[in-house]
Structure 1
C-alpha cells in the first residue's frame, strides 16, 4: 500500500529479459540499502514491484525488481531502458502520514499526455506550475471524477477537470522539481491507477444491476 507521495527519483541502470515475458530491472536510488529487505515492495513509476536483490553504491543503493508479463502488458515498464528516470515510493508503514490517497500500485492502464501548458509562477521561488491535459483509456474514463484523486506514474494528483475521456491535472513547482513530471512532454505515456473507492463503487453498482 502506498500514498502516491514520491520519496525519490530512481534511474534504470540495466534492463534484461525478452519483451512481453519477464523483465529484470536494476534501479539506482538514494535509499539506504540497509532499510530495504529482500521481498520488499517499492512503487516504481506507479507499479508495485518486489525487490529481488539489493546492494550498496555510492550515494545510496541499487536494487533489482522483476516485471512479469501482466505488468509489461498494462504499464510503461516494457519501454524502460537504462537512463529512464522513475518515481519511487516505499510501502506505507503503520503510523506514517497519509499525505496523498490510498494507492495500491496496481496500474489499470496507460494514459497519454496530449497538451502541456505552463502557468506563470510569479514570485514563487520554485518557478512556474504546469497544467497537463491527459487522455485516459476509454474503459477507465468513468472512474475519473473532477476534484477526485488519480495516481499517474506513482504520483497522487487531484483531477482539475474532466471531459469524456480527457482530464487535466495541475502540477505545482515543488512536484515538478522532485519527480519526473518536470521532464514530461506531449506524447509521453503515463501509468494510470484510478481511485480505489471509485473502482469498488463501480463494481458494487454492476453487482446490484445484475441482481
Structure 2
C-alpha cells in the first residue's frame, strides 16, 4: 500500500511539473503573439489565452495544495515515501498477534521503528534516527503513519523486559525536544525482544 503511495506521489509530482512546462511554453507563445512576432488567427488567440489562464489557475491550485515544490524537495518526498514502505514491511514482518508465539531469542541491542504523521515530522525525525543509531540502537527507517499519530510522543514496547530500553529511547527523544514521551507496553501484539516503536505526535 505504501509503495503504491510512493508511486502515486511520483505521478502527482510529474503531472505538476508537466503543468509547469506547459505554462512556460504558453508564456513564451503568448509573449511572442502579443509582440506580433508570431502571427496567430483571432480564433486561435482566444483559445491560446484561455488555455494560458487555465494553466495559471492550475499552478495556483497546485501551489495551494502544497504540490508545487522545488525538484530537490519533490525527489526527497518520493524517496521518503518509498523508505516508509520498506520500514513498514520490516516492522510488520516481526510483529504477530498476541496469541501467536513470539521469537524468544535474546536481543543484544534495541530496534526502534519511528512513525511520523506527516512529511514535516518525517524529515525532523532524521535527527532522532541518527541519535538512536549513535546510542547503539538499530533503526531501520522512518515510516509515514498519517491518521494514527497519538496526541503526545509515545514509545511503545512489546516485552516487559524492554521497558528500560524504551525509557532510554524516551530520554534520547527528550533531547530532541520531544519531552514527555509516554512509555507504554502493547500487550495485544508480540515482537522480538528489543523491538520498539517511537511515535511522533500529530
Q: For the superposition of Structure 1 and Structure 2, which TM-score range results when normalised by the shorter chain?
A: under 0.3
What TM-score, normalized to structure 2? 0.27
Larger Rg over CA atoms = 2
What TM-score, normalized to structure 1? 0.26
The structure whose residues are more often helix, as a share, is: 2
The structure whose residues are more often strand, as a share, is: 1
